[in-house]
Amino acid sequence: MPDIARFPLGAAVTLAELSANPYPVLHRLREKEPVTWAASFGQWLVTSRDLIMEVLRDSQHFRTDSDQSPIRDTFGPQMLSTEGEQQRRYKSACAPPFNARAVEGMAPLVASIVHEQVAQLTSGDSADLRARFAAPVAVATVARVLGLAPGNDQRLREWYDAFADALASYEGSPATQLRAHAAALAFRASIAPILAAPDAGATSLLHELARAHPRLLDDDEIGSNALIVLFGGIETTEAAITNALWAMLSHPHLLPEARANADTLDRCIEESLRWEPAVQTCSRYVNDDLMLDGVHIPEGAIVQCMIGGANRDPAHYADPDRYDPFRAETTPHLTFGFGRHFCLGAALARLEARTAISALLSAFPGLALDADHPSYPAGHEFRKPPTLRVRW
């Protein structure tokens, strides 16, 4: 057990504080304790961008393939909780639908899904854009990429909710884990017919993997990697759309130019990814005693790279708490991770966000936050507004 007295700021950190507003906490830690021990939940926090990059580059000592990993526990071994040749095999097998050319080819599909959801918003004078727009766009898109029929979308959403609860539970609640395991088993059962008899003409990921000769992945491996694609495709995109809309609507002076100029819209989305990252941490597991910035980290420790801290590090971003789509810095944010574990669906998430927000701004020229129902991003692990109430 680390000496708590050496890490007084870390000892004061709570999940509730990180969930409500992590950025003041992360600033204090970065300044005084950039590597600290969060005693309340038994994990190490790294808040400096340079130190986070050091961790993410060192897959020999800071690994993802640990039995402690809630992602591995929930989904089984897959591309986010393996290393080396196994990880490369999983990621390369699943990569074709997510390369730049494939994503460009998905633009009509995404536009069709978005416009169907926009059409359903026209009743009434207000709506919750997270529940009625961002969530269904994200679920429908990743489901079609996987090759799942539209009738499954509601069940997929329910399974996703069980997964999110388990992955955000640092306490490891047995009941939460059981629900997640049951959801994973149900998902595997739902795709078993595809894996047993894939459609010869279908070009979606599950059909392609099931038809491959020789098989790149066995059925268990396809299921595990499809689960992480499903979860990431929903979480990353729903939050990217919701957080970007919240950021832009909170700075309404940007809306006219974003509506008229595609480059400005892209800048607004990219800045929102930096400013309010959907996933706040990259977890790594230490396989040997080591030193990080003069701090001894023991074998078996869990290290949380605080992405919100890296993205608002004043050593890399001037006035980092300001939402500024026109900022001059070229340092890339770490919202989609880094290196071999960089998010497979980053390009698709950006396409979905761009298409969705452009369609909304075009359809609703008077779009504005509903002042009677304010909401703000929340969540220590997965962060977005619980609701996003707007008026037309």
Q: What is the pLDDT of residues 87-133, one digit of tens each?
A: 999 999 999 999 999 999 999 999 999 999 999 997 778 899 999 99
CATH 1.10.630.10 fits 4-391, yes or no: yes
pLDDT in tens, 174-225: 888 999 999 999 999 999 999 999 998 889 999 999 999 899 999 999 999 9
| CA atoms of 37 and 14, how far apart (whole Å) | 12
pLDDT in tens, 318-352: 999 999 999 999 899 999 999 999 999 999 999 99
Q: How far is CA 316 from CA 222, 243, 334, in A?
A: 39, 22, 12
Residue 163, pLDDT above cutoff 80? yes
For the chain, the domains span 4-391
- Inter-residue contact 387 to 373 (CB < 8 Å): yes
Provide the pLDDT for residue 3.
Answer: 77
Provide the pLDDT for residue 126.
Answer: 85
Query: What is the average pLDDT across 59-87?
Result: 94
Residue 375, pLDDT above cutoff 80? yes
What is this structure's pTM? 0.95
Q: Sort residue 58 into left (φ over 0), alpha (ψ -120 to 50) or beta.
A: beta
pLDDT in tens, 16-29: 999 999 999 999 99
Q: In what order do the strands lie in the sheet with 35-38?
A: 35-38, 43-46, 302-306, 281-286, 62-63
The C-alpha torsion from 239 through 240 and 245 to 248, rounded to 10°, is 130
- Inter-residue contact 189 to 223 (CB < 8 Å): no
Look at 255 and 202; give whichever has higher pLDDT. 255
Locate 188 and state its tokens: 């595997």
- Inter-residue contact 22 to 276 (CB < 8 Å): no
Provide the pLDDT for residue 169.
Answer: 79
Q: Sort residue 323 into left (φ over 0), alpha (ψ -120 to 50) or beta.
A: beta
| CA atoms of 277 and 271, how far apart (whole Å) | 10
